[in-house]
Chains A and B, each alone.
Chain A
Amino acid sequence: MITTEIAIIGGGPAGLSAAISAASLGAKVAILERDGRLGGQLIKQTHKFFGSEKQYASTRGFDIAKILEEEMEKYKDKIDIYTNATVLGLYEDGVLTIEHNKKYMKMKPEKIIVATGASEKFLSFPNNDLPGIYGAGAVQTLMNEYGVKPGNNVLMVGAGNIGLIVSYQLMQAGVRVKAIIDAAPQIGGYLVHASKVRRAGVPILVSHTIKRAHGKESVEGATIWQLDERWQPIEGTEKYLDVDVICISVGLSPLTEFLWQAGCEMKYIPELGGHVAIRDENLETSVNGIFIAGDVAGVEEASSAMVEGRLAGICAANSLGYGDDRFEELRRDYTEQLKSLRSGPVGAKIVSGLSKVTVKKQFA
């Protein structure tokens, strides 16, 4: 069995940030990443990020992944990287079981940072199993990772940031986006993203949802219809769209299996995307030594995921006795950054959700 000081589950923006900050204080860290490469969803993000310089604003997502990997190089004697390493279970005695390069492996860390991210939500409608119906993440993987066009004419379901951004990326790849629809009465994503696709000629229809997909072997079309103010479909408003791809982008839910397995206290918070763990201000859960960071702690932007990662990293390291001289200053900085990122109208929902799961004092 392998031992380490801090095991980080997930090598995305939160996990990598956690590894860097924990190692910078002197802790020995192991990153466990399911994929063959690090970076998580950053790899597929071709748009420039929001936030401030501290969160790499104005830099494209895949470039941020490179920056984080370069930063890790500085601490390479402190950070062990396991790619192709799927964590299978987290047990009561704190042991992680892992499938690593097709081989079974066990790890006993002193602290664990769970940075598993989130998974995509899906929709139920007739024929939703036809080939050609993708989650937005899959479309990004195909286009931005493998350079494969998913099709030629797309219906995008969901006008949140991901739906808007992926629509833009589809157009950059030369794919026609026939319409972006959203069941909500208004656009959920940043309006600058909405305006950007709108002025390229893509209609955005709010209070609309998909009624059914059409096709035999694969998607040949879709019928959408309008919803009333009680979100009920209005008969007679059906429109047929000639599309070969339906892209579903209706939100994310935190990937919390390990936290349930470990017995963390959980609570359902719709503003944060679903069930999340109760945590203190240092991002430690109700189970001593298990920290959370990123979308698993509540679905948000990658900029806040990276700051949460930094915060969880120094808190886990400090709980092992590292970095006493710098800890408080760093903690204040990261806490301030998070506060600032969440301070506006967009962050209000997150702040409200977090207030329901954040407890003031450290758990006993």
Chain B
Amino acid sequence: MIEKTGVPTKEDIEEITPPKEIREKQAVAVIECYKEIPCNPCYTACKFGAIKEFEDINDRPEIIYEKCVACGQCVIKCPGLAIFIIDETYSETEATVQIPYEYLPLPKEGDYVTALDRAGRPVCRAKVVKVRKGKHPNMTSTVTMAVPKEHSMTVRSLNLEDYFADNTIICRCEGITLGEIRQLISEGYTTIDEIKRISRAGMGPCQGRTCRHLIMQEIRNATGQNMEDMLMPTFRQPTKPVKLGLFVGGEGDD
């Protein structure tokens, strides 16, 4: 099937999946090179002898997991961008997937991206935990994402829809992004007031005229709360920030 779609089959993937004992123990390279082509930079890039010597340049690379230290050299060198590093030891629940990435903009560490599968379908939202920018501008960069453990052999690509959304400004006065608002909601701050107090969204010159409604929509989307019943923030005076000098001396026309 891969010959028709470019997407490997379940059997293809099973063949290159590192054994469970290995994945539980260490980070490893996963080489998704499904067809013989005359190419060997992965073998020459590996300083640890973790890729079996090629008898013929057309050989498909074979990895010796015990020797793989997950350094990522082969990921950067592979002309087919067909090598990935997975680390299922990352945390209790999450694994990391390191992918070669040659698009701009390069996401930053801490950004959230949409993790995609081998057919470009969204799998989950993923936090970028490491970005390795090529030393030379023409070198391949890599992006490492943290994903739920069960997706370590599914996620192989990313797009920046979440990134762009996350970097969309919600509160112009205080420069608060949609990503920050979503993060707060996911941490349990589900009222406008709580979000305002912790982020300052709505405390700038416009006093929430731009952001309040947008934040309400986000709360609704994330929690299912009804907009009508949503707890409103406390509206205090003054309705716009003013200099303290205005009040000095009390009332007066000039």
Q: What residues of chain A have their CB less than 8 Å away from a CB belonging to chain B? A: 47-53, 57-58, 60, 63, 171-172, 185-187, 190-202, 204, 206, 301, 303, 340-347
Interface residues on B, range: 35 or more
Q: Chain B: which residue is nearest A196 at the CB level?
A: B81
Q: Across the interface, do A187 and B120 meet the contact criterion of CB distance under 8 Å?
A: no
The residues in B between 52 and 107 inclusive whose CB is less than 8 angstroms from any CB of A are 56-58, 77-82, 102-104
- Is the C-beta of B32 less than 8 angstroms from some C-beta in chain A? yes
Distance (Å) between the CB of B23 and the closest chain A CB? 21
Question: Among A187, A192, A340, which residue has its beta carbon within 8 angstroms of that of B80?
Answer: A192
State whether A192 touches B57 (Cβ < 8 A): no
Chain B residues, CB < 8 A from A51: 38-40, 57
Is there a chain A Cβ closer than 8 Å to B36's Cβ?
A: yes
A341 to B56, CA, bound (A): 9
Chain B residues with CB under 8 A of A63: 138
B46 to chain A, nearest CB (A): 12
Answer yes or no: B119 CB below 8 A from chain A CBs: yes
Q: Which residues of B contact A47 (CB under 8 A)?
A: 79
B97 → A minimal CB distance (Å): 12
Q: Closest residue of chain A to B79, judged by CB? A: A48
Flag if A200 contacts B57 (CB, 8 Å): no
Jot down 20 A-B pairs with beta carbons below 8 A, ordered by A: A48-B140, A52-B57, A171-B103, A186-B3, A191-B3, A191-B34, A192-B33, A192-B34, A192-B37, A193-B80, A199-B117, A199-B157, A200-B120, A200-B159, A201-B120, A204-B5, A206-B5, A301-B38, A341-B38, A347-B58
Question: With A58-B41, A192-B81 known to touch, is A206 a contact of B4 (CB < 8 Å)?
Answer: yes
Minimum C-beta distance from A168 to chain B (A): 8
Q: Is B6 an interface residue (CB 8 A)?
A: yes
Q: Is B204 an interface residue when CB atoms closer than 8 A count as contact?
A: no
Tell me whether A186 and B4 are in contact in the complex, defined as CB-CB below 8 angstroms, given that A57-B39, A195-B118, A345-B58 are known contacts: yes
Give the complex CA separation of A301 and B77 in angstroms: 19
Asked if B37 contacts A344 (CB within 8 A), the reply is yes
CB-contact partner of B79 in A57, A191, A343, under 8 A: A57
Q: Beyond A50-B39, A51-B40, A192-B34: 6 further Cβ-contacts under 8 Å?
A: A51-B38, A52-B40, A186-B4, A190-B80, A194-B6, A201-B159
- A191 pairs with B40, CB closer than 8 A: no
Let me know if B156 is at the binding interface, CB within 8 A.
yes
Q: Measured between alpha carbons, how far is A344 from B37 in the docked complex, in Å?
A: 6
Given contacts A57-B40, A191-B2, A198-B118, A344 and B56 within 8 Å (CB-CB):
yes
**Main DSSP-derived SS at the A contact region:** mixed
Residue of A nearest to B103 (CB): A172
A57 contacts across to B, CB distance below 8 A: 39-41, 44, 79
* A195 touching B140 in the complex, CB below 8 Å, given contacts A343-B38, A345-B36: no
Interface residues of B (CB under 8 A from A): 2-8, 32-41, 44-45, 56-58, 77-82, 102-104, 116-121, 138, 140, 156-157, 159
What residues on B are CB-neighbors of A192 within 8 Å? 32-35, 37, 78-82
Cβ contacts under 8 Å, B5 to chain A: 187, 194, 198, 204, 206
Out of B34, B58, B78, name the residue touching A344 (CB < 8 Å). Answer: B58
Chain B nearest Cβ from A60, distance in angstroms: 5
- Asked if A50 meets B79 with Cβ closer than 8 Å, knowing A185-B4, A195-B6, A195-B8, the reply is yes
B118 touches A187 (CB 8 A): no
CA distance in complex: A57, B41 (Å): 6
Closest to B122 in A: A201
CA distance A301 to B102 in the complex (A): 22
B38 to A50, Cβ gap below 8 A? yes
Contact at B57–A340, with CB atoms within 8 Å? yes
Contacts of A197 on B, CB cut-off 8 Å?
Answer: 6
Query: In the complex, A198→B2 CA distance in Å?
Result: 10
Chain B residue numbers with a CB within 8 Å of A196 are: 80-82
| Least CB separation from A202: chain B residue | B120
Bound state CA distance, A173 and B21, in angstroms?
41
CB-based contact B38/A340 at 8 Å: yes
Beyond A191-B6, A201-B159, whether A343 also contacts B41 by CB under 8 A is no
Task: Chain A residues near B58: list those with CB within 8 A.
Answer: 343-347
Query: Contact between A60 and B57 (Cβ–Cβ < 8 Å)?
Result: no
How many angstroms between the C-alpha atoms of A177 and B120 in the bound complex?
Answer: 13
Contact B79 A58 (CB under 8 A): yes
